[in-house]
Structure formats: C-alpha cells, structure tokens
Amino acid sequence: MEMVNITIDSRKLQVPANYTILEAAREANIAIPTLCFLKEINEIGACRMCVVEVKGARSLQAACVYPVSEGLEIYTQSPSVREARKVTLELILSNHDKKCLTCVRSRNCELQRLAEDLNIKDIRFEGESYDYSLDELSPSIVRDPNKCVLCRRCVSMCKNVQTVSVIDTNERGFKTIVSSAFNKSLNEVPCVMCGQCINVCPVGALREKDGTEMVWDALANPDLHVVVQTAPAVRVALGEEFGMPIGSRVTSNMVASLRRLGFDKVFDTDTAADLTIMEEGTELINRIKNGGKLPLITSCSPGWIKFCEHNYPEFLDNLSSCKSPHEMFGAVLKSYYAEKMGIDPSKVFVVSIMPCTAKKFEAQRPEMAATGHPDVDVVLTTRELAKMIKEAGIDFKDLPQRQFDDPMGEATGAAVIFGATGGVMEAALRTVAEVLSGESIENVEYNQVRGVEGIKEATIEVAGLTLKAAVAHGLGNARKLLDRIKAGEAEYHFIEIMACPGGCVNGGGQPIQPSDVRSWIDLRTERAKAIYEEDRDLPIRKSHENPKIKALYSEFLGEPGGHKAHKLLHTHYKQRENYPLDK
C-alpha cells in the first residue's frame, strides 16, 4: 500500500495515500466534527462542519472529501477554522426547530452534541424559518421537515443504497426542503417503510410512528390478554439503548423487562421462525419436485415485499406465500394458543417487538387477519421498547434471570439466525438438506451464505441435487440480483432477500448510532456475531427438530403446507402502482 507523509496540528504522520484528511485525523485520534458525513453513504462535504486549514490553499477545505498527498500540512484548530465551524453551526441552529426537550432524539442528537462540543452559548443569527406540516400519514415513518438540517444523509441512503428514491432535496435557497416529489406524504409514494432513512438521520427529522400508547392502554385493560413476542435481532441490540456494548446479548434482561411491564405472556418470535422454515422448506421442496415456479424467494422482510410489489411485480409468483414469522405467530396465538388456553381470540392482544419499521405497515395489511382479527395488533420497534422500559423506571441492567413462556417459547438455533443476512437461507438449508437426503447432517453451518458481502452465492449438493442459492441484503443489491435474473445472466433455486443492509440486525427500528460510530464500526457484523453465538449455544439447531413445532403440527395444524397451515400461515401479494402509491 502506497503511503504518504503529512502533518496534522504539528504531528507528523504516515498514512495510506487513498485516505481523506478526516480518515487520517481519525487514525491519529485527532477529532474533527462532522454532520453530513456518513462513510461510504454520504461523503459530499456539504455541511462544512469538518472544515480544516490546508497550508497553501486559499480557503478552508472539507476534511471528509479532501484527499491527502505527500507533504500536506493541515490545521484543525486554527482561529479561522474554529470561527468557521461556530458560524456554520449557528446558522444551522438559527432556523432549526429547537424543541429539544420533547424531541425523540433528545440526548441522542448529533446537532445537540455539536452545539455542546463547540461551546455554543448564544445564537447570533435569526434565520428565516418556515412552519412545515408534519407528514404522519404513513403507518411506519413520521417526517418532520422543521427539524431537518439538510445533511442529505437520508437522501443518499434512500437513493444510492436502497435505490427506492422517494425523497430528495426540493426547492432552492432558504426554501430548500428534503421531501417526496410535490411534497407528497410518504404514504402516497412507493416508500417501502424500511426506516433506513431514520437510522442515518442525525436529528429528529425522521422517526417511527409511535405505538407505545396503544400498548400502555392494552396493558391497562383488564378485558385483554396481552402477549408480546420479540424478534431475534432485538436481543442483540436493545442493550445499546442502555449504554451496553454493541452486540451485547440481553435476552434474559429483555424478557424480565417485558414481565415487569405487565405482559401476560412473553414469547419468542424465534418459535415462529422455526415454523416458517417448516412451511417455506416444504414449499421449496414441492416446487423443486413438482416443477413449480423457481427461484423461490423468501418473504420474511416486509420492506422487500413492498419493494417487489412496486418495482418487480413479475417476480410476485416467485415469492414464498409464507407470512413473516411474527405474523405467523400472531395467527397461531389467536387460534391454537387461544383454544389451548380457553381465551376468546378477540381478547388476545398481540404485540410484536421488532427491529423493523416496515412491520408496522405489514401488520395493517388486510391479508394479515387469518382468524378474522388482525394477526398482530401493534408493532413496536426496539427503540420503542427501550422507551417503555425507561418510562417504567426499570433498571434494565439489574434484573433476575428470566426465560420465555411456554407453550410457545422454545426455539432452535436455526430460528435465531433469522436476524442476520443469510440466516433464513441457512436455517432453510439445515432442514431441506435433511429432508431431501433422509439423513442427519452434523455440520449445520453454511458459511457460504454468511457475511456482509452485498450478494452471496452458494451451490449445495443435496441428495443428488445441485441446489443453487443466492442471498442479497439491502434493496440496491436486491435490484442488481433481480436484474441479472431478468437478463438471463443468473439462475437459482432459492433466494433470500432482506430489505435492510445486514438484515434485521441493522433494521430501521434498531438503536440509532451516531455517524462517528456508524462510519467506523460495522454494526451489522458486531450484532450478527451475537446472533451466531446464541445459535451455537442452543441445544437444538434445526427447525424440524423443535418439539414445540412438532406438537403444533400433531395437535393442530396437521402437516406442513396442509390446508389448515395454508389458511393460517400463508398469504398473497399484489402489484402496486409505482407512482403514485395506490391507496
């Protein structure tokens, strides 16, 4: 690797020649403030918070985009640099909605932290402000333009990473606004509700639709039997909301907190993930043996499903008809569980704790009501659960050991890896390989489909069949993969697609990390490590060996893919207009 010699604040450094000043400074532990910067997503030098003085240059330069070169001399704290940063920040604050105490991002706001770090005590300017209306028509995402700082991180994520492109900068000058075309609501454009825009927003301009009050009301209603289920990705991220290291496994703390909140039963969505594998694996085997439509594409990610409905309707018949695990579980809880417990299904109130904002939209789909009642009544994100725990005054770190409730609280290692990209594929292969071969397979880890490479391919030999599989995460990668298939450049039997980069561990409802963490630490990898650790620690690692699932089929559902299972656990999809969104 070619290296160059540079000087930052009188410190002589040797750094890779392809670095920017910001990267070089960070490696030397020299702090340079940023706001619009997000590594590999938004490197545009627009906010000017990272300006530095470069010897020989006529003006201050943005460190996030300025390349290093041999002999470069940089000053990060000169009087002109400090004044420029302060003036820039004061101008941003001059027309910002400063309702910080009631903002969802209070104490986790990058603008707030910059004001503190740069010692802003007064704002010398009174900017021209506009009172924009709140966009809260979407079931998943609320957009508040009054808090927007025009950093464009959400635009880059939506357009360049997810390739959904429903928001951009509109108007000019003081009237510039980040919005959908013609300032339409996110509910009126082909937004897929993935929430990745929320995760990269440095302030409170984007947030999830809050469902906590509905849950508090349900918990206080003596006529309701309120049960909660939690997705696998929640247990490896929730701890971050309480100051714990990224990737901490907090399963027991989470369960204990939910009990303290007053839920009648605390269940594990992983149980339904095992159920999903039974149904989806059966569907794959049937399609392969009977000449069905291939490739079969997974349907666990509602953001991906909505993206497909808008942009690739020709692939709708390729989608697995299986509901996502939490919707399956909701249907089972309002049928099998209600019958077993002698409870009127209308009195069973199901709350899903998910890493995903798109699941709020999914829960409202009319197709998700197998018993005549919504399969799931309310979806809360990981962040919303943390808010409830804090509101209840629960000491999250100091709680007794607790486990999920029976009869629906037992799951396998195959289920827990659903939270990471490639996990659904791997879980399915563990079962499909044994069913097709009729033999027990000891090595259940399929490393070919693990990791954060955008598109992964695997060829597995099973019972004389060469099974070709692919995994894509992030909708930009999904688009590339589907376009290759359409062009006849690739052919597969089975495909897993997750809307969010890295899968559910990096879902739109997960704890928000600031850019100085997100840019340099791979959240996807750190959280996924904990997922795979839990898989290895579990005694059963194959979905078809879960005794609770076996009992569910023998006592209630019959056989995988059977009539009753299909009625409760499967669904259908529809083509949606790409623009404007049909209502």
39 is annotated as an active-site residue: no
Tokens of 373: 């009642």
Q: Mapped to the 3 state alphabet, what secondary structure does 411-456 carry?
A: CCHHHHHHHCCCHHHHHHHHHHHHHHHCCCCCCCCCHHHCCCCCEE
Q: How high is the pLDDT of residue 581?
A: 41
DSSP H or E segment with residue 290 = helix 269-290
Q: How far apart are CA 239 and CA 232, in angstroms?
A: 13
Q: What is the dihedral of CA 274, 279, 281, 283, to 10 degrees?
A: -170
Mean pLDDT of 274-296: 94
The string of pLDDT tens digits covering residues 224-267 is 999 999 999 999 999 999 999 999 999 999 999 999 999 999 99
Catalytic residue among 320, 324, 335, 515: 320
Catalytic residue among 300, 308, 322, 500: 300
Q: Name the band, by pLDDT with cuts 50, 70 and 90, for residue 534.
A: very high
Q: How far apart are CA 526 and CA 419, in angstroms?
A: 12
Q: How far apart are CA 512 and CA 194, in angstroms?
A: 14
Mean pLDDT of 88-106: 94
300 is annotated as an active-site residue: yes
Mean pLDDT of 524-549: 95
Q: Is the pLDDT of residue 583 over 70?
A: no
Mean pLDDT of 155-182: 95
Q: Mean pLDDT: which of 90-99, 407-416, 456-465 is highest?
A: 90-99
Catalytic residue among 280, 327, 384, 434: 280
570 beta partners: 322
Q: What b/e string do you get for 387-401 counting C-beta neighbours within 10 Å, with b at 16 or more?
A: ebbeeeebebeebee
555 is annotated as an active-site residue: no
Q: How high is the pLDDT of residue 465?
A: 85
The string of pLDDT tens digits covering residues 208-231 is 999 999 999 999 999 999 999 999
201 is annotated as an active-site residue: no
Q: With pLDDT > 70 as the criterion, what percentage of the chain qualifies?
A: 99
Q: What is the dihedral of CA 246, 167, 147, 66, to 10 degrees?
A: 70
Cα radius of gyration rounded to whole Å, the chain: 25
Q: Mapped to the 3 state alphabet, what secondary structure does 33-80 carry?
A: CCCCCECCCECCCCCCCCEEEECCCCCCEECCCCECCCCCEEECCCHH
Catalytic residue among 306, 323, 359, 360: 359
Eight-state DSSP code of residue 464: T
Residue pair 135/185 in contact (Cβ under 8 Å)? The answer is yes
Higher-confidence residue of 334 and 95: namely 334
184 is annotated as an active-site residue: no
Residues 6 or more apart whose Cβ sits within 8 Å of residue 65: 20, 43, 44, 45
Residues 6 or more apart whose Cβ sits within 8 Å of residue 440: 434
Residue pair 500/474 in contact (Cβ under 8 Å)? The answer is yes
Q: Name the band, by pLDDT with cuts 50, 70 and 90, for residue 579.
A: low
Q: How far apart are CA 370 and CA 47, in angstroms?
A: 50
3-state secondary structure (DSSP) of residue 167: coil
Distance of alpha carbon 284 from its chain centroid, rounded?
Answer: 26
Q: How far apart are CA 410 and CA 273, in angstroms?
A: 11
Catalytic residue among 208, 362, 526, 534: 362
Catalytic residue among 110, 279, 283, 410: 283
Backbone angles phi, psi at 491, to 5 degrees: -145, 130
Residue pair 14/72 in contact (Cβ under 8 Å)? The answer is no
Higher-confidence residue of 443 and 449: namely 449
362 is annotated as an active-site residue: yes
> Inter-axis angle of helices 382-391 and 212-219, to 10 degrees?
50
- In order of their start, the domains of the chain are 3-92 (3.10.20.740), 130-209 (3.30.70.20), 212-569 (3.40.50.1780)
Give the start-end residues of each E strand in 489-552.
494-498
Q: What b/e string do you get for 483-517 counting C-beta neighbours within 10 Å, with b at 16 or more?
A: eebeeeebebbbbbbbbbbbbbbbbbbbbbbebbe
Q: Are strands 494-498 and 465-473 parallel, antiparallel or unpaired?
A: parallel
pTM, rounded to two decimals: 0.96
Catalytic residue among 64, 154, 201, 504: 504
Distance spanning both ends of the chain, measured CA to CA: 55
Q: Where are the alpha helices (DSSP H) in 230-268?
A: 251-261
Residue 68 burial class via C-beta count within 10 angstroms: exposed 0-12, middle 13-18, buried 19 and up: buried
